[in-house]
Chains A and B, each alone.
Chain A
Amino acid sequence: AQTVTQSQPEMSVQEAETVTLSCTYDTSENNYYLFWYKQPPSRQMILVIRQEAYKQQNATENRFSVNFQKAAKSFSLKISDSQLGDTAMYFCASESASGTYKYIFGTGTRLKVLA
């Protein structure tokens, strides 16, 4: 069975600084997708960044980048130049590429950006 673990329930970072959120996962699948979603107080889950497991290159989306270590089953999210609007709950998620229709979510990390 797939599992996703986020070991940091809460984190804080000063505005303009860099922060890294940790995520580890376990799967027996050969191909899968990994995601980071952001859920601000507005409640909507927003896709931040995604990674296909068979791609070696780490995904990057503007200030957001991942460190994907497939052998270690690690998928951390780095936020550079943190902004107040980055304050949110961040969920790591995995999905099998075999089409099980089901995300496996981690328990989330609540990030607070301090002015």
Chain B
Amino acid sequence: DTEVTQTPKHLVMGMTNKKSLKCEQHMGHRAMYWYKQKAKKPPELMFVYSYEKLSINESVPSRFSPECPNSSLLNLHLHALQPEDSALYLCASSQAAGAGYNGYTFGSGTRLTVV
């Protein structure tokens, strides 16, 4: 299995809702990442998990809460989001934190719309 699987593919949520994004990989990668991508822009790093521990939080607002239950799973819990949080949320993984020569494997993303 050489994929990163993200669910759901699309999500529409109200500003008072609580929802979660899920990311899964079975490549034995020990680092996982959340990126946010606005239209026609490059991805922006949000969080890095290394060996299931949060290594980097790029000053992301607390309404985004990451969780890494095990080495294969990464969740992003969403609460009280704003319309400007609407974006494509990409998950990625790599063999170790700091992707190095092998680069990242990305999922297809979740398209989030906050109404």
Contact = CB atoms under 8 A, between A and B. Distances in A.
Q: Does A pair with B? A: yes
Nearest to B102: A50
Contacts of A85: none
Chain B interface, DSSP helix/strand/loop, else mixed: mixed
A104 to B, nearest CB: 9
Nearest to B88: A43
B115 interface: no
Given A43-B88, A45-B106, A103 B41 contact: no
Contacts of B104: 45, 47, 103
A106 B42 contact: yes
Contacts of B103: 33, 35, 37, 47, 50
Contacts of B100: 33, 95, 97, 99
B108 A105 contact: no
Contacts, number: 65
B98 A101 contact: yes
B45 A103 contact: yes
21 contacts: A33-B100, A43-B88, A43-B111, A44-B106, A44-B107, A45-B43, A45-B90, A45-B92, A45-B104, A46-B106, A47-B105, A91-B42, A91-B43, A95-B100, A98-B98, A101-B98, A102-B45, A102-B56, A107-B41, A107-B42, A108-B41
Interface of B: 31, 40-43, 45, 48, 50, 55-56, 88, 90, 92, 97-109, 111
Interface of A: 33, 35, 37, 42-47, 50, 52, 89, 91, 95-103, 105-108, 110
